[in-house]
Chains A and B, each alone.
Chain A
Amino acid sequence: MTTLTDKPTAATGEPGSARSLVDTVFRAREISIAGALVLLILCTWIANPRFLDSQGVKDLLLNASILVLLAIGQSVVVVTRNIDLSVGSVTGLSAFACGKFVADTEHGVLITLLLGVAIGLACGLVSGALVSFGRVPALVVTLGMLYIIQGLDYWWASGDQINAAQVPEAILHLGSGSVLGVPYLPLIAVVLLALTTYFLRGYRSGRELYAIGSNPEAARLAGTPMRRRVLGAYLFSGAVAGFAGALWLARFGTVVADNAHGYELTVVSAVVVGGVAITGGTGTAWGAALGALLVTTIGSALVVLKVSSFWQGAITGALLLAAISADRIVNLRMTAALRKRSARHGHGA
């Protein structure tokens, strides 16, 4: 991962010292999350070694994959100081549509995935156009889209269900198969993560997303094509959500209308836990993915630790709050340190 992210940094040819300091700050957020994750996994593993046997690791990775994908998509929107609450509905609609499409047929994997992406793109286009060209608050529009897409999905499905027996074997294999012992889904998530990270840091348009999020006014004055960039972010998030829907079908085999119902808040919390500020401008896709991994691992660990399922919600909530508070405190410390150091280097003035 680091090799990938470092290359474009060098290519941009910015002053090395300042850049590496910024890197340290950014990385600190992710390191604290990764630390929490490792600690959690270690403790659970000590309590129950089966948590990390081959089946356990496979389950852990598979559980997290879809949330990781959605979190990566969401992080690209959130850095622009926007939000996409419709992802749960889009995933649900796409999963059901793909299920309906492949049911009792021999449709291939590729065309199904493309269908999912197309549905997601269409939804993302509507949300994105409303937010960027309609200049309306993202929270309201995407909340509206959440309802609209969910209503259409339920209306269309009207109690139908696609069963695993109806889904072609090739598609189910995508959800459960693996290469060299690593299941496909986590691999897909890692590839998307690498591409997104590369884009956000290596391309001008990627970095412009951060500029828009941290100071829209300045970004506009600097001539950033804001509307196009924000629309692009929504298209990406929508496409990822649609893609995740197709994978949902592959993974679970059974789909009904309300798949991924209520997922939007889980995705947003994963992104926030991952250090992507809801106020825009900071955070990485890599952090969001870690956040998603942490959120699902908490869930799995509690079950393995035989914590009563009644406690699960409370503990998850408390850990989320602790994570964002700790993140905030670390961030404040690092900013202070950064300021001190840049003052010493004479950048302070």
Chain B
Amino acid sequence: MTIRTAARGRTAATAAAVCALAVALTACSGTTKNDAKNDAGGAAASSAKADPNAPLKKNLKMAFLPKQINNPYEKIVDDAGIAAAKSFHGTAKEVGPSDASASSQVSYINTLIQQQQDAILVAANDPNAVCGPLKQAMKQGIKVVSYDSDTAKDCRQIFINQASSEDIGRSLIQHIGKQIGYKGKIAILSATQNATNQNTWIDFMKQELKDPKYKNMKLVKVAYGDDDDQKSFQQTQGLLQAYPDLKGIISPTTVGIAAAARYLDDSSYKGKVVLNGLGTPNQMRKYVKDGTVEQFSLWNPENLGYLGAYAAAALASGQITGAQGDTFSAGKLGKFTVGKDGEVILGKPTVFDKTNIDQFHF
């Protein structure tokens, strides 16, 4: 009925009616954000006790669910994890969507529940969209480990953090500060507007910038290249045109930094603008050697997958529960301790430059 009248050109009347209705509803106090906060129940805390001496179970089934299946970086992580699982006689596989949207991982989680996996390792595209199904998985006894990009805290038992987010954010500012002599405008070229890990790092970068020693440095813009090579390329161009006196760009994403480096490499800005961020040695080798980029950093993605597989196995074998202070051993990487909020930190990122880049091949 409403629609018909709208179609007859009485849109205004309809809209008014609906608005009136809306106001009336508001008046009799509907459900607002404050009400919802109260009814959000806490996650069921795991009651099981950790037994640090329990042996790793054999024939564990686990699955890696990356942000996107054809992301080269995630592929390195997952392949290393799959190999690690083999080393303790488990089986692991990689499944996932071909686009990195918030919702696309959900149906894969459901499938993994149906397949009764022992553990799911997920790099979340959106911290909350995957929450419901992950909670269902935990309810059925499936262990959930997030890696690379975290989910909401109560939707997983452990988060394998590549490096402390604070470390990453602050050290990127420290590095670029040193490179530009603590003076001038800088910009950030990030991934998508909603990327959890990038946004966390950027927040820490902004905090670091509040330190008085950066008083002559100014963050003028955060641009988004959507982790798309071409878009990142064009965003770099735009940044340099919009801010001609830009001194440095930080790109905390492997796709972004490679695209930015390629643009600088054959533009007139080469050597005038400092580029730093997170990249893989294989992608950046050319630009480090020809002097476009002085240094960049990254953790070892293979170790990230390796640690993830061991952590998932330790959970599934009952060695740890994800509580703070639990310890487990991760093969060749040694012993790790679960920190606050179930976080396990891989280590400090490696800084790559001319002197060491040829030692790394990933």
Determine if chain A interacts with chain B: yes
Shortest C-beta distance, B284 to chain A (Å), equals 9
Known contacts A165-B285, A252-B262; is-contact A59 B70 (Cβ 8 Å) = no
Question: Residues of B contacting A56 with CB < 8 Å?
Answer: 241
- With A and B bound together, what is the CA distance between A306 and B237 in angstroms? 12
Binary contact track A134-165/B, C-beta < 8 Å → 1, others 0 = 00000000000000000000100111110111
B208-240 Cβ-contact flags toward A at 8 Å (1 or 0):
000000000000010110001110011101110
0/1 string, A246-270, CB within 8 A of B gives 1: 0000001111111111000000000
Stretch at the interface among A125-133, A296-304, A328-336: A296-304
Given that A154-B98, A159-B69, A257-B70 are contacting pairs, would A300 and B237 also be in contact in the complex, using a CB cutoff of 8 Å? yes
Q: Which residues of chain B are within 8 angstroms of A176 by Cβ–Cβ distance?
A: 266
- B331 at the binding interface (Cβ < 8 Å): no
B202 at the interface (CB under 8 A from A): no
Out of B71, B98, B238, which one reaches A303, CB within 8 Å? Answer: B238
Determine whether A19 belongs to the interface, using a CB cutoff of 8 Å to chain B. Answer: no
Chain B residues with Cβ under 8 A from A341's Cβ?
A: none
User: In the complex, what distance in Å separates the CA atom of A164 from the CA atom of B174?
Assistant: 29
Given A154-B69, A159-B74, check contact A306 B242 (CB 8 Å).
yes
A159 near B238: Cβ-Cβ < 8 Å: no
Interface size for B (C-beta < 8 A) is 34
On chain B, the residues within 8 Å of A303 by CB distance are 223, 234-235, 237-239, 241-242
Please indicate which of the listed interface residues B228, B229, B268 has the most CB atoms of chain A within 10 Å of its own CB. B229
A163 contact from B98, B224, B234, B286, Cβ within 8 A: B286
B229 engages A252 (CB within 8 Å): yes
Query: How many Å lie between the Cα of A261 and that of B229 in the bound state?
Result: 11
Compute how far the CA of A256 lies from the CA of B71 in the bound complex, rounded to whole angstroms: 8
Contacts of A255 in B (CB 8 A): 229
The size of the chain A interface, using a CB distance under 8 A, is 36
CB-contact partner of A48 in B69, B221, B241, B258, under 8 A:
B241
Checking B229, B242, B286 against A256 with a beta-carbon cut-off of 8 angstroms, the contacting residue is B229
Q: Which residues of A contact B262 (CB under 8 A)?
A: 164, 252-254
Is the CB–CB distance between A163 and B241 below 8 Å? no
**At the interface, yes or no: A17 with Cβ under 8 Å from chain B?**
no
Interface string of B280-297 (1 = CB under 8 A from A): 001101100000000000
Cα-based distance from A258 to B98 in the complex (angstroms): 9
Contacts of A55 in B (CB 8 A): 241, 267-269
Known pairs A163-B283, A258-B70, A303-B239; A252 contacts B266 (CB<8 A): no
